[in-house]
Amino acid sequence: MTITIFLGALLGAMALGVPIAFSLLFCGAALMWHLGMFDAQILAQNTIEGSNSFPLLAVPFFMLAGEIMNAGGLSRRIVNFALTLVGHVQGGLGYVAIMAAIIMAALSGSAVADAAALSALLLPMMQRAGYDTARSAGLIASAGIIAPIIPPSIGFVVFGVAANVSISKLFMAGIAPGLMLGAALWGTWWWLVRKEKIKGAPKASLSMVLKALRDATFALGLPVIVVVGLKFGVFTPTEAAVVAAVYALFVSTVVYRELKLSQLYGLFLSAAQTTAVIMFLVAAAMVSAWMITVANLPAELVSLLKPLLDNPTLLLVVIMVITILVGTAMDMTPTILILTPVFMPLVKAAGIDPVYFGVLFMINNAIGLITPPVGTVLSTVAGVGKVSMDEVTRGVWPFMLAQFAVMFLLVFFPSLVLVPARWFYG
């Protein structure tokens, strides 16, 4: 009955068009009423405490770093560098998109920011070169979702807070799977364009490559600073976010000089607005998470799935399928906040490494950003690239399936995540 009240209140409010944050608050209030303990003061206290978390300070700074990166010329220089390396080969602009997405993922941690930048910079070039618009838009969308996997990742920050798992370990564990997702896109793109006769850009000379590398050196330096600093304990993930924002601001205003001081207010405002949405979602979700614990829903779910606890792989497959279904109708942040307190007791009871589960869960939620009908990144690419949503949706399918294949490969072979993760975080 408790599970019915929880799902009924949440899905019912969402079906009526209530924003997800308010749906989560309504869900928590409905559970309180059902348990005969409704108290508006407790509701308010849990809402405030939900966002009162030091690690969550990383969110606004990573959002700000992404905004500055796109406005200050860092993204463009990364794309230009990738273009000089592989722009001349068959299907070269697609490989440029994948390389640029992987590098930019290590700068912002935001799939929407990366997808928007790549759509603005590369999609017009791909259209002029004669690439299929739908396929190109689909590739850019699927490349953009590498951002929540490779550190720094806003998604890992939210999951780490909700699941009480080390954010530094999540960051380090995401590096190898993020590169695997990029490799899957690389192979899929090669297969799709291998027979097309699209003329590539002229091959860049060594001097042009070195010039592009020199021009992008400061942009490429940020991922190195963040990863090395985290690995050797120079700073925490929250401090890494501050370092990323300050570094991007310094490079954009002092080194590249493309960002004017008059633009800062707009960038700060945009980052603050996005952060406010995320933080309100976190605050509202913590009310539901607290009520889930009080109502003993995890114990009910554990008893329901008890036959699967002796088979962690099968349990993970079931959890991944559930997350896929939820991800088709819900954005990444609310999915993480709603499902994490439900799944974590199961994960612990089955003896699954929480960091390993966090990586799989994040990959699944990241792919949810390109699964129709919601697909936030699909909408971003369609809007920025000025193409129809139908075209982007049609073009993303082969790349999305390749990324799902990587995710299930990691489910069946945990060492692909755990071995490199233990090397990175010692």
Token pair for 417:
């995540």
Confidence (pLDDT) at 111: 85
Q: Does residue 334 fall inside a structural domain?
A: yes
Question: What domain range includes position 34?
Answer: 1-38
Same structural domain for residues 108 and 31?
no
Q: Which residues 6+ apart lie within 8 Å of 202 measured at CB? A: 88
Backbone angles phi, psi at 165, to 5 degrees: -120, 145
10, 300, 330, 390 from 320: Cα distances, Å: 21, 19, 15, 26
Integer Rg of the chain from CA: 22
Contact 176, 420 (CB under 8 A): yes
Nearest to 57 by CA among 196, 161, 131, 137: 161
* 163 and 34 assigned to the same domain: no
The structural domain count of the chain equals 2
Q: Are residues 242 and 97 in the same domain?
A: yes
Neighbours of 415 (CB within 10 A): 11
Please give the distance of CA 101 from its chain centroid, rounded to a whole number. 12
Do 20 and 58 fall into the same domain?
no
DSSP 190-244: HHHHTT--PPPPPPPPHHHHHHHHHHHHHHHHHHHHHHHHHHTTSS-HHHHHHHH
Same domain (yes/no): 97, 130: yes
Give yes or no: residues 128 and 196 share one domain.
yes
Asked if residue 10 belongs to a domain, the reply is yes
For residue 350, give Cα distances in angstroms to 4, 282, 305. Answer: 25, 27, 10
Q: Is residue 59 domain-resident?
A: yes
| Residue 85 and residue 5 share a domain | no
195 and 245 both lie in a single domain? yes
Could you tell me if 149 and 105 are in contact, meaning their C-beta atoms sit under 8 angstroms apart? yes
Instruction: Decide if 43 is inside a domain.
Output: no
Do residue 13 and residue 103 come from a single domain? no
Q: Are residues 62 and 28 both part of a single domain?
A: no
| Cα distance between residue 85 and residue 68, in whole Å | 25
Residue 146 within any structural domain of the chain: yes
In a domain, 120, yes or no: yes
Same domain, 306 and 386: yes
Q: pTM of the full predicted structure?
A: 0.84
pLDDT value of position 239: 83
Residue 45 lies in a domain: no
Rounded Cα distance, 415 and 412, in Å: 9
Q: Are residues 204 and 348 in the same domain?
A: yes
pLDDT, mean of each 10-residue run, the chain (426 residues): 71 77 79 76 73 76 83 85 84 89 82 85 85 91 92 87 89 92 94 78 84 88 81 79 88 88 89 82 75 68 75 91 82 83 87 94 92 80 85 92 95 93 77
User: Would you give the end-to-end CA distance of the chain in angstroms?
Assistant: 45
